[in-house]
Structure 1
Amino acid sequence: MGHARLITMNKLVIEPLTRAAFAPFGDVIELDGAKQIPINLGTTIRYHDLAHVDVVDEGGRALVNLFRGQPRTLPFEVKMLERHPLGSQAFVPLNDKPYLVVVAPAGELDSEAIRAFVTSGWQGVNYAKGVWHHPLIALGEISDFIVVDRGGDGLNLNEQDLDESLWLTEEALQAVAL
C-alpha cells in the first residue's frame, strides 16, 4: 500500500504596497502624498521627485526602457531573486493593472526577509541599488511599464536561486484589502 506524500508550500504573505512598508527597499512611485507644483501657466500639475534614481556609479547613465510583462498565473513559484549592485531600477506601469512585487533587503540574500506586495495598479516602484527583487510579475493581462535603470560598463546584475521555493497564491492575494 502506497503512502501519499504531503507537499507543503512555503507561502508568502502578500501586503498592500505602501511607502512606509516599502521604504527599506526603495520608493513607491504614486501621486498620493507627492509634492505638487503647478507648471505651464497652471495647465499642468507636476508631481515632483517621486523616486531616487541612482545610476551614476562607474560611469553609468540613465536608460529609459519599455518592458512588456506577460501575465503570470497563481500559484506562482518564486525560485530566484536578482539585484542590480550599480544602480536603482524603477518600474512605472502604463495601465491600471495590479502586479506583484517580491523583494529582500540589500546585502547577503536572506530568504527569511523576503516580502511580497501587490500594487494598486497605478503605483510604480523604484528598487534601490542592491535590493534583491523578483523579475516582473504581471497579473491578469499583458502589462507595459516604463523602466528607468542603469546603462554602462560594469556588472549590474546578480541572480541567486533560493534554497527553497516560495509561493504566491490566489488565497494570499485575495486576503489583501486594497
Structure 2
Amino acid sequence: MPTSMPAPSIRIPIELLTPTAFAQFGGVIENPAAAPSAKLPIPHRMPPPDSVNANQGSATKYLHVSHMSNLYSLAPSKKPARAVMNMFVCAPRDLKPHEPSQSMPSSWGDLELDDDDEGNGEFNRQLLDVSILERHPFTTQTFIPMGLSQTDRHTQYLVIVAPTLPASASRRNTERPPPYPTPNIARKKSLKDIFARARPRPYSNETSPPPSAFSRLPASARPKGPGLPDLKNLRAFVATGSQAVTYGAGTWHAPMIVIGDRPIDFVVVQFANDVGIEDCQEIHLKPNSSASEGIVVTVDSDGSGKVQVKAGVGSVKAKL
C-alpha cells in the first residue's frame, strides 16, 4: 500500500521562478544577463556565477551554474551510485475548472485568491490538484527543458516543492514514524576530535577541526533527513523555456508539470544506485474525507495561455 499522509485544504498561488526565491529548495540555471530575475530589484537578485571568455572570445562561459550532490554514502545499502542521464517527455496536464473555495494558502494569507469582484475578464483561472510528492534523498536532480523558447507564451512548466518537516513531526501528523527513515548524518566524535577541541593545534591557531563536508555545502544541497513534507508551506513556481532547475538532495517536489499546448522534453541528470527506495521515495496526499478538496494550485493564464504570477516578487494583481 503506498505511503500516504493527510493533506490540508489549501490553495497555492504561483510565483516567479528566481534563484533567490528557490534557494532553499535547490538552484535555477539561467543566463544571468537575460533571465527574468535580472530585471528585479537588487534585494531579489543573486550575484551571477563567475564567468570567463571561451571559444576564442565568441562565448561567455559561466562556471559552476549548478551543484550536483552524490550522498549515496549515507544510504542504508551502501551501494555506490553512478551518474545517469534520462529523458522525460512530459505531456500537458489536464486542469479542472475554477470553483470558489474558502481554502486559503497558509503562507500567503493576505491574497484574495477567490475574490469574486468583477474584473476585466482577461484572465482564465483553472485548478491543479497536487496528489503526490516525491524526493530523491541522496542525489540532486536537474531538469533541463529542450525545444522550448523563452518567449513561448503557450507552454510553460510548474515547479512545486515543499520544505521538510523535522522527523519528530511525522508521529504528530501521521501517528507513525517517518515512512522512509534515513541514517542520522551526525558524526560521532572521535578521541581526536575531542582533544582537538580542547587545545589549539600545534601548527595552527585554530582551536577546532575544520568544518565537515556537509557544512561546506549550500543549504539546499545538504541532506534533509527523514521528515515528511511541510504541506502548509508548499510553493509553486512557473518556469520559462530558458530555465533549468536543480532539486536539492532530499527536496520534496511534485512530478514535473507542463501547462499549455504541447509536451516538453526534459533531459534529467542525477545519480542513482538502482535501489528503488533509495533512489526515489513517494508520499500520496489524502485530503480529509469530509473536505471538498485537498492541496490545489491556482493557475491563472491570459488569452495567449501565459501563466500569471500571483504571489511573491513580480506578482500581478489580476482579478477574475
TM range (shorter): 0.7 to 0.9
1:174 corresponds to 2:294: no
1:108 corresponds to 2:232: no
Instruction: Report the AA paired with residue 150 of structure 1.
Output: F
SS in 1 for 2:279: coil
SS in 1 for 2:22: helix
SS in 2 for 1:174: coil
Identify the structure with bigger relative contact order (alpha carbons < 8 Å, sequence gap 6+): 2
1:85 corresponds to 2:85: no
Give the TM-score normalised by structure 1.
0.86
Partner of 1:118: 238
Greater strand share, structure number:
1
The 3 A distance-change label for structure 1 pair 62 and 56 is: farther
CA–CA distance in structure 2, aligned partners of residues 166 and 102 of structure 1? 11
Shift of 1:175: 4.4
Shift of 1:48: 1.8
CA–CA distance in structure 2, aligned partners of residues 174 and 117 of structure 1? 10
Instruction: Report the AA paired with residue 270 of structure 2.
Output: D
Which residue, 268, 271, 288 being the options, matches 1:150? 271
Q: Write out aligned runs for 1:20-169 (5 A).
A: 20-32=20-32, 33-58=48-73, 59-74=80-95, 75-94=127-146, 95-96=148-149, 97-106=155-164, 107-140=227-260, 141-154=262-275, 155-164=278-287, 165-169=294-298
- What is the CA deviation profile of residues 76-132 of structure 1, one whole-angstrom value per residue up to 9, with x for unaligned ones? 210110000110100111122421010012332111121110113311110000000
Q: Which runs of 5+ in 1 are unaligned?
A: 1-8
SS in 2 for 1:112: helix
SS in 2 for 1:31: coil
CA–CA distance in structure 2, aligned partners of residues 116 and 35 of structure 1? 29
Shift of 1:29: 0.9
- What is the CA deviation profile of residues 2-48 of structure 1, one whole-angstrom value per residue up to 9, with x for unaligned ones? xxxxxxx6321111011111001000111113432211222332222
Q: Which runs of 5+ in 2 are unaligned?
A: 1-8, 33-47, 74-79, 96-126, 150-154, 165-226, 288-293, 302-306, 316-320
SS in 2 for 1:169: strand
Shift of 1:53: 0.8
The sequence identity of aligned pairs, in percent, is 37
Shift of 1:56: 5.0
CA–CA distance in structure 2, aligned partners of residues 51 and 129 of structure 1? 13
Instruction: Report the AA paired with residue 142 of structure 1.
Output: P
CA–CA distance in structure 2, aligned partners of residues 166 and 122 of structure 1? 28
Partner of 2:210: none
SS in 1 for 2:10: coil
**What RMSD in Å do the two structures reach over aligned CA positions?**
2.0
CA–CA distance in structure 1, aligned partners of residues 64 and 228 of structure 2? 29
Partner of 2:196: none
- Give the ranges of 4+ consecutive aligned residues of structure 1 lying more than 3 Å apart after TM superposition: 175-178
Q: Write out aligned runs for 1:6-21 (5 A).
A: 10-21=10-21
Q: Check conservation: 1:111, 1:162, Cα contact below 8 A.
A: no
Partner of 2:123: none
Q: Check conservation: 2:14, 2:299, Cα contact below 8 A.
A: no
The 3 A distance-change label for structure 1 pair 31 and 79 is: same
Task: Give the greater-gyration-radius structure (CA).
Answer: 2
